[in-house]
Amino acid sequence: MSDRSSATGSRAAGPTGAGATPPAAQPQRFAFSATVIGEVDAGVMLVLIDNPPVNAASASVRTGLLAAIGRAAADPDVVAVVLSGTGKTFVGGADIREFNLPPEPPLLPEVVAAIEDCAKPIVAALNGVALGGGLEIALACHARLAAPGAKLGLPEVKLGLVPGAGGTQRLPRLVGVAAAIDLIGSGRIVDAGTAERLGIVDRIVASDLVGAATATVRALVGTVPRRTSDLPVAADDPAEIDAAAAKVLARSRGQQAPAEAVRLVRAAADVPFADAVADERATFLALRNSDEAAALRHVFFAERAAAKVYGLDDVAALPVATIGIVGLGLMGSGIAVAALDGGFAVVGVETSAAAAEAGRARIAGLLDKSVASGRSSAADRDARLARLTISDGLAALAGIDLVIEAVFDDLDVKTRLFQSLQGVVRPNAVLATNTSYLDPDRIAAAVDRPERVVGLHFFSPANVMRLAEIVRCAKTAPTVLATAISVARAMGKLPIVCGVTEGFIGNRVFSAYRRAGEFLIEDGASPYEVDAAIEAFGLAMGPFAVSDLAGLEIAWALRKRQAATRDASERYVDIADRLCEAGRFGQRSGKGWYAYVDGKRQPDPEVLMIVAAARAAKGVASRPVAAEEIVERLIAAMADEGRMLVAAGIAARSGDIDLVMINGYGFPAHKGGPMFIAGRAQEAAPPH
Ligand code: 3H9
> Does the structure show a pLDDT above 90 at 604?
yes
Each residue's pLDDT tens digit, 130-171:
999 999 999 999 999 999 999 999 999 999 999 999 999 999
For the chain, the farthest-separated pair of C-alpha atoms sits apart, in whole angstroms, at 97
pLDDT at 282 over 80: yes
Q: What CA–CA distance (Å, rounded) separates 546 from 416?
A: 32
**Residue whose CA is closest, atom 44 of ligand 1?**
54
pLDDT of 569 higher than 50: yes
> Measuring CA to CA, which residue among 176, 99, 100 is closest to residue 133?
99
Residue nearest to atom 28 of ligand 1 (CA): 53
Q: What is the pLDDT of residue 12?
A: 40
| Count of other CB atoms within 10 angstroms of residue 267 | 19
Lowest mean pLDDT among 24-38, 219-233, 566-580, 626-640: 24-38
Nearest CA to ligand 1 atom 24: 304
State the amino acid at position 317 in one-letter form.
A
Nearest residue (by CA) to ligand 1, atom 54, is 54
Q: Give, for ligand 1, the residue of 35, 49, 51, 54 to mutate: max count of ligand atoms closer than 8 Å to Cβ.
A: 54
Atom 19 in ligand 1: residue holding the nearest Cα? 93
Single-letter code of the amino acid located at 99? F
Give backbone dihedrals phi and psi of 454, rounded to 5 degrees, phi first.
-145, 155
How far does the centroid of ligand 1 lie from the alpha carbon of residue 526, in Å?
44
Rounded to whole angstroms, the Cα distance separating 173 from 171 reads 5
Q: How far is the CA of 158 from the centre of ligand 1 (A)?
A: 12
Please work out whether the CB of residue 136 comes within 6 Å of at least one atom of ligand 1: yes
Q: Is the pLDDT of residue 613 over 80?
A: yes
Q: What is the pLDDT of residue 27?
A: 83
Give the pLDDT confidence of 333-360 residue by residue, as tens digits: 999 999 999 999 999 999 999 999 999 9
Cβ(293) – ligand 1 distance below 6 Å: no
Report how far Cα 355 is from the mean position of its chain's Cα atoms.
34
Residue 493 alpha carbon to ligand 1 centre in Å: 19
Dihedral class, residue 318 (left if φ above 0, else alpha if ψ from -120 to 50, else beta): beta
Alpha-carbon gap, residue 19 to 14, rounded angstroms: 10
Q: Are 648 and 515 in contact (CB under 8 A)?
A: no
Give residue 501 CA to ligand 1 midpoint distance, Å: 33
Nearest CA to ligand 1 atom 27: 54
Residue 102 CB neighbours (<10 A): 5
Indicate which residue of 136, 196, 260, 292 is catalytic: 136
In order of their start, the domains of the chain are: 28-288 (3.90.226.10), 322-498 (3.40.50.720), 506-649 (1.10.1040.50)
Among candidate residues 39, 156, 196, 280, the one labeled active-site is: 156
Are β-strands 36-41 and 453-458 bridged in parallel, bridged antiparallel, or unpaired?
unpaired
Residues 419, 447: Cα–Cα separation, whole Å: 6
- Does residue 4 register a pLDDT over 50? no
For residue 34, how far is its CA from the centre of ligand 1 (angstroms)?
19
Please say if the pLDDT value at position 634 is more than 90: yes
Mean pLDDT of 614-640: 97
Each residue's pLDDT tens digit, 453-495: 999 999 989 999 999 999 999 999 999 999 999 999 999 999 9
Contact 45, 81 (CB under 8 A): yes
pLDDT bracket for residue 20 (50, 70, 90): very low
**Amino acid, single-letter form, for residue 678:** A
Active site (annotated) includes residue 136: yes
CA dist 632 to 88, 537, 664, Å?
44, 10, 21
pLDDT class for 6, splitting at 50, 70, 90? very low
Ligand 1 pocket test: pick from 96, 112, 169 the residue with the most ligand atoms within 8 Å of its Cβ. Answer: 96
Ligand 1 within 6 A of 96 CB?
yes
- For residue 131, the ligand 1 atom closest to its alpha carbon is 30
pTM: 0.92
Report DSSP state, residue 154: -
Distance CA 45, CA 417 (A): 65
260 catalytic? Reply is: no
- Over residues 25-47, the mean pLDDT reads 94
* Beta strands 28-33; 36-41: pairing state: antiparallel
Using a 6 Å cutoff on CB, does residue 302 contact ligand 1? no
- Where do runs of H (alpha helix) occur along 14-117? 59-74, 108-117
Residue nearest to atom 48 of ligand 1 (CA): 304
Task: Please state the rounded mean pLDDT for residues 570-584.
Answer: 95
Q: Is 375 in the pocket of ligand 1 (CB under 6 A)?
A: no
CA distance 456 to 567: 31
Buried b (16+ CB within 10 A) or exposed e, 446-458: bbeebbbbbbbbb
